[in-house]
Structure 1
């Protein structure tokens, strides 16, 4: 199994990672915006962002007041596009 397919399966294994990827697919965002868009708890957003950063799917683009601003990496976009093409969400 290729790495991208493994990461597709990994993203799909968590609704919070799906929410974060879906939200960031529309552009840069603060964690608070993701939290409010899906009405989920901040620790779940934070954990999903950290996990996705570890897998190089999202990155911090600004780390200043009022907080960290995130965007999807090129690799994250590839993974999300594969999920959408296969109609897995």
Structure 2
């Protein structure tokens, strides 16, 4: 497991919204509307969490930055390592 996974996991755990978004994207890439529906979170919380996770290098945008509709997000390799670390260490509920 990479050296950044524990630090990344701690960062993600600092927000239940970041945990929810990471959990959803661990299943498959998704657009914000799907993330909102699947996590039962307001758009503002989904948007903030996605932005935070992108800045941390855990989530990436799969379409061109200028595309405003159908902005598809996915976990980066680092995001996948973080999620695996969290799962293996009992850091996620459910």
TM-score w.r.t. the length of structure 2 is: 0.87
Look up the match of 1:51.
52
Please show how residues 55-74 of structure 1 align to structure 2 within 5 Å: 55-63=56-64, 64=67, 66-74=69-77
Q: Provide the rounded CA distance (Å) in 1 between the counterparts of 2:68 and 2:43.
A: 17
Higher strand fraction (1 or 2): 1
> What 5-or-longer segments of structure 2 have no aligned partner?
none
**Structure 1 stretches (4+) deviating beyond 6 angstroms?**
none
- The one of the two structures with greater contact order (alpha-carbon pairs below 8 A, sep at least 6) is 2
Kindly tell me the number of residue pairs found equivalent between the two proteins. 88
TM-score w.r.t. the length of structure 1 is: 0.91
Look up the match of 2:82.
79
Instruction: Report the secondary structure of 2:41's partner residue.
Output: coil
